[in-house]
Structure 1
Amino acid sequence: MEPVEYRPIQNEDVEALGTILGDTWHAYADGRKRVVCGVIDLANFALRNTFAEVAVVDNSPIGVIMARAGIPDKQTQDHWASIKHHACEELNKLGGCASDLTRFFDAMEKADRDLLAHSDCDPDFELVLFAVSSEARGLGVGSTLMDHAQRYLAAQGASRAFLFTDTDCTWEYYEHRGMRRAAEQSFADDGASILPERMFVYEMNLEGIKGVMHAALP
C-alpha cells in the first residue's frame, strides 16, 4: 500500500466516504443508491462531531473517525444538515426512500439514549463514527485513527469516553482494544423491530493518554 496520510475531513471526501459506509451498511442497495445511503449515514453522524479525520492514500479516503467533546457548533451542524438534506433528495429521485432511513436513525438514536442512560458513561465525550474500507483493514489504519481520536478527546479533558455499536458492526474490535461494555439491549425477540439484534455502549479509559490533535471541522 502507498503511504497513508491522516488529515482533517474535507468536502471532497464525502463521496468516497459514502462509498465506504454504503458498502458496509447498505449492501442491499445497488449502484448510486448505495453511495447516497452512505452519504446520508456519514452526515447523520457528522452532525454531532467536533473532530473528524480521514486516512487517505493518494488523497483518496480509506477510513474515517469522528469524535465529540461537548456540543458541536452551529456551523458544523448546519454544514452537515445541508449535505444530509441534498443526499436525501437525491435518494428519493433515484427511487429510494429517505424517510425509511430517517425512521431507522430516529429509532437508533432513541435506543442509544436509553443505553447511555443505563450506563455510567460521561455523556460529554463520545467516539461518534469509526469506519475503514475493507481493503485497508488489518493494516493499522484503524488503530492510528483511533489513537488520534483518543488523543483529541484526552486533550479536551476527557478521562473516559463512550461509543455506540451493535451486532451489525465489528463490535469485537472494541473489546480487543480493551474497552468495557457499559450497557446493552437486545431486540432479537422483537419481530417488528427495525434495529439490530443487540445494541451496546462501550467505554474507553483515556487516563494517561497525552497529546493534542486538531479539531477537524468543515
Structure 2
Amino acid sequence: MAEFSAVGMNFDRYTNSKFTESLYSKYFVWDAYINATTAIAAYDGDVLCGVIMAKFDNELMIDQKVVDKVHASSLQYMMGLVFDQGIITYDQVNQAMLKELKAKTNLDGEVLLFAVNPDIKNKGIGTKLLNELERKYSGKRVYLFSDSNCSYQFYQHRGFHQNNAIRIPEPGRVDGSKLTCFLFDKQL
C-alpha cells in the first residue's frame, strides 16, 4: 500500500532519496491507519488492488494496537529529521483551508488515504472503492486533501466539490516549482 501511495502521489518529487521516499510513504499509510474508523480494500485473488481509509465522527477507530501508534510516531519523528519546512507549510495550508470550510459546512468525516495499485490503473478499482464508501456512508459529508501532484481530477469527475486551491512552493524542491493544494468535499 505504501508503494501505491508513493507512486500515485508522486512522492519522488519531494526527495531524491529512495529511503526518504519510502519513509514518507510508510508514514502516510500508518498515519491514515491509526486515525481511520473504516478501511475498504479491493483484491483480485490475493493481490491488493487498492484501499480507501476514512475517519468518521462518532465512530470507533479500527482495532489499532499501541505498537501501531508508536510505529507511526517514530516514522513521523524520522520524517521531521529529513524533510524541510515545505512539509510543514503544506500541512498549515491544508489546515487553513479546512478551517474555512468547517466555518460554513458541517462535515462528518475525512478520506485519509485513497490508493490504487498503479500497475492496474484504469480498471475502475478507485471508482468501485469510492462507490462502496458511498454505499456504506450514504448521506455523510466527507472532505479530503489533494494536490497537483496527485490524481485530483479523479475527485472532480466523481462529484466532489473543490472548495479551495492554494499554490505553495513544492516541498523538497529548490528549483522554484510550485504545487497546488486542493480541498474537496462531497455528500456521499
Category of TM-score, reference length = shorter chain: 0.7 to 0.9
In 1, distance between residues paired with 2:127 and 2:180?
Answer: 24
In 1, distance between residues paired with 2:132 and 2:36?
Answer: 14
- Is 1:180 paired with 2:181? no
For the 8 Å contact 2:38–2:62, the answer to whether it is kept is no
For the 8 Å contact 2:40–2:51, the answer to whether it is kept is yes
Q: Deviations over 1:109-167 (max 9, x none)?
A: 3222210122234333111111112112110111011111222332xx62x22111111
Gaps spanning 5+ residues in structure 1: where?
Answer: 1-16, 207-218
For the 8 Å contact 2:170–2:178, the answer to whether it is kept is no
Q: Deviations over 1:51-71 (max 9, x none)?
A: 112222332322110111116
In 1, distance between residues paired with 2:187 and 2:158?
Answer: 10
For the 8 Å contact 1:121–1:182, the answer to whether it is kept is no
Gaps spanning 5+ residues in structure 2: where?
Answer: none
- Give runs of aligned pairs for residues 59-208 of structure 1, distance below 5 A: 59-70=46-57, 73=61, 76=64, 78=66, 80-85=68-73, 87=75, 99-101=81-83, 106-119=88-101, 120-154=104-138, 158=140, 160-187=141-168, 197-206=179-188
In 1, distance between residues paired with 2:187 and 2:6?
Answer: 30
Give the root-mean-square deviation of aligned CA atoms: 3.4
In 1, distance between residues paired with 2:93 and 2:177?
Answer: 9
- State the number of aligned residues: 179
Q: Tell me which residue corresponds to 2:35.
A: 48
The 1:84–1:138 alpha-carbon spacing in structure 2 relative to 1, beyond 3 Å, is: same
Indicate the SS of the match to 2:35. Answer: coil
Q: Which amino acid aligns with 2:52?
A: I
> Alignment identity in percent?
17
Indicate the SS of the match to 2:142. Answer: strand
> TM-score scaled by structure 2?
0.76
Indicate the SS of the match to 1:47. Answer: helix
In 1, distance between residues paired with 2:92 and 2:33?
Answer: 17
The 1:114–1:88 alpha-carbon spacing in structure 2 relative to 1, beyond 3 Å, is: closer
For the 8 Å contact 2:90–2:181, the answer to whether it is kept is no
TM-aligned CA deviation for residue 172 of structure 1: 0.9
Q: Which amino acid aligns with 1:45?
A: A
The 1:74–1:68 alpha-carbon spacing in structure 2 relative to 1, beyond 3 Å, is: closer
For the 8 Å contact 1:52–1:65, the answer to whether it is kept is yes
For the 8 Å contact 1:167–1:196, the answer to whether it is kept is no
The 1:74–1:128 alpha-carbon spacing in structure 2 relative to 1, beyond 3 Å, is: closer
TM-aligned CA deviation for residue 79 of structure 1: 5.2
Q: Which amino acid aligns with 1:187?
A: I
- Is 1:26 paired with 2:14? no
Q: Deviations over 1:160-204 (max 9, x none)?
A: 221111111111111111211122222259998x99621111111
